[in-house]
Amino acid sequence: MAQDYYQILGVDRNATEQEIKKAYRKKARELHPDHNPSEEAAEQFKSVTHAYEVLSNAEKRQNYDATGHEDGRRAGGFGGGGFGGFSDIFETFFGGGAGAGPASRARRGQDALIATHIDLEEAVFGTEKTIEVETAVRCERCDGSAMEPGTHPETCTTCRGAGQISRPVDSILGRMMTTETCPTCRGYGDVITDPCGQCSGQGRVRERVSFTVKIPAGVRDGTRIQLAGRGEAGVAGGPNGDLYLEIRVREHEVFTRQGDNLHATVTVPMTAAALGTEIKIDTFDGEQAFTVEPGTQTGYVVTLRNLGASRLQGSGRGDMKITLNVSTPTKLNDEQRELLTQLAELRAEDIANGQVESRGFFSRLKSGIDNMFSHDES
């Protein structure tokens, strides 16, 4: 067998249900994320919880003791390979299972999913958030036992602690005995006569709790973080479920994220783009400067290395991509218009009727063709 559940809980194979529950509570408190936030403790917490789920369930424990698997599977033999044993046939026809034993009241709590909103800068570098959630927690009065302190459950008089009752039934095979869940104790084998008044016999109550969560650098919108054991407390002392924290990243007024890169658009005046300049921009790492080369056109992308988002998987950071948008003035006074007209003349550009006719190569080519035809006509 891959794991020894008795060894995980630190009990011998003849341990009673109360001894198993006591051992689980002790180890769960030691390994709970509240007291031990390490990854190793989180894995051990899962192993301890699974071991308790098996050994606290009479049927699973019996199967585990007999076969090494809580579902009763064996490697090979008539009981494996998709075919059940002879007892499975009776269970299919008549329900129940002879000798399965009483069920455990303890049930694992439900998992929960909540969302938390963070800024883009917090997603880039990571942060800590205080989370508030209304959930089911272990009842302090009864410590999850579901009974008033100092009291104990009484053995069911109907099934005498078996959790099941037998009754005759007529079938095609004749009169046979079949087993079914005891209606008095509902299969638990005992009855709680004095349930806890604070939790109404549930072993848990609803409260609003808060705790701090470390959000790693590089998370993205929609990332889910699993917090083991932070979900709802189980019924009657059962293990807690898990809490899943879904990250929602708010939009930033300047930067957008694509993969691990951050993107922004910066508008550059036409004259600055033509002459070249230096631009300063506020980033999450402080003010950064970059050079705009003379003659820069709209759409040119400047890359600032290692100023993007942290990589959630792996090390390092992405880049910052700045797209330049060259702005052409739309309103000119007389002096500005005159200066631009002089510039056009210096660049051998004619401006007529709102259109530009260049005196460059194509104009000279056109003039040459016109002259050639005029010579032919003469």
pLDDT per residue of the chain (378 residues) written in tens, 0 to 9: 457 888 888 888 888 888 888 888 888 778 766 566 677 777 788 888 888 888 888 888 887 777 777 665 543 333 333 333 444 444 434 444 444 578 888 999 999 999 999 999 999 999 999 999 999 999 999 999 999 999 999 999 999 999 999 888 776 556 677 788 899 999 999 999 999 999 999 999 999 999 999 999 999 999 999 999 999 999 999 999 999 999 999 999 999 999 999 999 999 999 999 999 999 999 999 999 999 999 999 999 999 999 999 998 878 999 999 999 999 888 888 898 888 888 888 887 766 545 544 444 444 444 444 554 444 444
Annotated binding-site ranges: 139, 142, 156, 159, 182, 185, 196, 199
Dist. CA 109–CA 166, nearest whole Å:
32
**Residue (of 154, 135, 158, 162) closest to 195 by Cα position:** 154
Dist. CA 64–CA 50, nearest whole Å:
13
Q: Look-up: residue for tokens 């400047």? A: 302
76 contacts: CB under 8 Å, gap ≥ 6: none
Is residue 69 classed exposed, middle or buried when 0-12, 13-18 and 19+ CB atoms within 10 A define those classes? middle
361 contacts: CB under 8 Å, gap ≥ 6: none
Strands laid side by side in the 261-269 sheet: 256-258, 261-269, 320-327, 301-304
**What DSSP string runs through 137-185?**
EE-TTTTTSSB-TT--PEEPTTTTTSSEEEEEEEETTEEEEEEEE-TTT
Annotated binding-site ranges for Zn(2+): 139, 142, 156, 159, 182, 185, 196, 199
Which amino acid, residue 274? A
Cβ atoms within 10 Å of 235's Cβ, excluding its own: 20
Q: Which two structure tokens, joined as six digits, stand for 60?
A: 């699973």
- Do the beta carbons of residue 298 and residue 291 sit within 8 Å? no
Q: pTM score > 0.95 for this model? A: no
What domains can you pick out in the chain, each with its CATH number? 1-75 (1.10.287.110), 256-327 (2.60.260.20), 334-377 (no CATH)
